[in-house]
Amino acid sequence: MPYINLIHEERVFQKTQERKVRLAMAGLLTVAGLSVVGAGTILLMTADVNGETAEVRSLLSRIQPVVRDIEDSQKELSILGPRLTTLQQAQDITMHWSRALDHFSYHTPKGVWLTNIKSQRRGKDGAVEVSLTGTSLTQQAVGDLMLRMKPLPDFENVNLKFTQEDRKPTLNTIRFEVIAEITGSKEEAEKKPAKKSLGDKRKEEKEASAS
């Protein structure tokens, strides 16, 4: 009877070991399968990433010439910007004079002759001052000239600088000078940064070296 029980226990032990071996093999196969699947997934992901990287590189290679063109255009604009501003200012000044001369050609009073027109920038405020000199038969005609200048949008602060009688044997005339400002020239001068004198530059250099 004890012998039979020993055989039974040995069979149970063998079955238990066989079950453990099968479970271990199943686990090993599962792990191996998962590893294969994981490796395949990683390979697929790597292929996708490589493909996307290649597409990005190809896109960058196509974009780079465009980017270089944009950078070159920006550099050219930065160089041409001040020139365009200067050209625009010159064009505006030309239009001022074109309109003014056109006005004088049609609206100068009778008995008034303009002999000289000049302009210069005043040092105290930077405004562009226009000076008109000429000859008139009467003081009233000079006043009429000033009245006709005031509606012009290109001139402001129209004033009479002087009148002087010029006596001649045959005809007495009046010499005059009328001054005005180019509209907006004072504001444009105030927007420009003031140039620093040599003394100011040396003072700034001393302060920078001291600090």
The number of distinct structural domains making up the chain is 2
Q: Which of 52-56, 57-61, 79-83 is least confident?
A: 79-83
146 part of a folded domain? yes
Assess contact for 155 and 131: CB atoms under 8 A: no
Q: Quick one: average pLDDT of 86-109? A: 78
- What is the structure's pLDDT at 162? 93
In DSSP terms, which residues pair with 129 in a beta bridge? 120, 181
pTM for the predicted model, two decimal places: 0.50
CA 177, chain centre distance (Å): 43
Ramachandran angles phi, psi of 153, nearest 5°: -70, -15
Q: Same domain, yes or no, for 137 and 63?
A: no
User: 3-class DSSP state for residue 120?
Assistant: strand
Taking only the tens place, the pLDDT of each residue in 149-161 is: 888 888 888 999 9
Q: Same domain, yes or no, for 114 and 172?
A: yes
Q: Same domain, yes or no, for 7 and 61?
A: yes
Taking only the tens place, the pLDDT of each residue in 111-164 is: 999 999 888 887 777 788 889 999 999 999 999 999 998 888 888 889 999 999
Taking only the tens place, the pLDDT of each residue in 78-94 is: 777 777 766 776 677 67
Supply 68's token pair. Answer: 């270089």
